[in-house]
A and B are shown apart, each in its own frame.
Chain A
Amino acid sequence: MSISARRSLLPLLLGAGFALVPVVTGGDVYTVNLAIRIMCLAIAAIGLDLILGYGRLVSFGHAAFFGAGAYAVGILSTHGFTSAPLLIGAAILAGAALALPIGAVSLRTRGVYFIMITLAFGQMLFFTATSLSAYGGDDGLSLPARATFLGTDPFGSPLSFHYVVLALLALVYLGGRAIVASRFGRVLRAGGEDERRVIAAGFPITAYRLVAFVIAGGIAGLAGGLYAEFTEFVSPAYLSWQRSGEFIVMVVLGGTGSLHGAVLGAAGVVLLEEWLAEFTEHWRLIFGPLLVLAALAGRDGLARLLGRGTR
Chain B
Amino acid sequence: MTAPRPILQLQGLVKHYGRLRVSDDVWLDVAPGETHALIGPNGAGKTTLIGQIAGEIPSDSGRILLDGADVTVERPHRRVHRGLARSFQITRLIGGFSALENVALCAQALEGSSFRFLAPASRDAGLNAAAIAALAETGLAERADIPAGRLSHGEKRQLELAMALVARPKLMVLDEPMAGLGKAETQAMIAVLRRLAGQAAILLVEHDMHAVFALADRISVLVEGRIIASGPPDAIRADAAVRAAYLGEEV
Chain A residues close to B by CB (< 8 Å): 178-179, 181-187, 189-190, 193-194, 196-205, 208, 211
Contact = CB atoms under 8 A, between A and B. Distances in A.
Contacts of B75: 204
A200 B105 contact: no
Contacts of B116: 182-184
A182 B118 contact: yes
Contacts of A187: 105, 108, 114
A183 B94 contact: no
A203 B118 CA distance: 19
B99 to A, nearest CB: 14
B92 A183 contact: no
A109 to B, nearest CB: 18
Contacts of A200: 54, 76, 80, 86, 88, 92
Given A196-B92, A201-B105, A202-B106, A183 B163 contact: no
Most B C-beta atoms less than 10 A away, residue of A184, A190, A199, A202: A202
Contacts of B113: 183
In which size bucket is the chain B interface?
A: 35 or more
Contacts of A205: 77
B115 A190 contact: no
Contacts, number: 90
Interface of A is mostly: helix
Contacts of B119: 182-183
Contact of B121 (A181, A198, A201): A181
B109 interface: yes
B106 A201 contact: yes
A178 B86 contact: no
A208 B114 contact: yes
B152 to A, nearest CB: 19
Contacts of B120: 178, 181-182
A309 to B, nearest CB: 12
A199 B116 CA distance: 18
Nearest to A195: B92
A179 B114 CA distance: 11
A184 B115 contact: yes
Cβ-closest 7 pairs across A and B: A202-B80, A202-B109, A197-B92, A181-B120, A183-B121, A183-B116, A201-B106
29 contacts: A178-B118, A178-B120, A182-B117, A182-B118, A183-B112, A183-B121, A184-B116, A186-B105, A186-B108, A189-B94, A189-B96, A190-B105, A193-B94, A194-B92, A194-B93, A196-B88, A197-B88, A199-B56, A199-B77, A200-B54, A200-B88, A201-B80, A201-B106, A201-B163, A201-B167, A202-B77, A202-B80, A202-B109, A202-B167
A183 B108 contact: yes
Interface string B37-79: 0000000000000000010100000000000000000011100
B187 interface: no
Contacts of B77: 199, 202-205
A38 B97 CA distance: 33
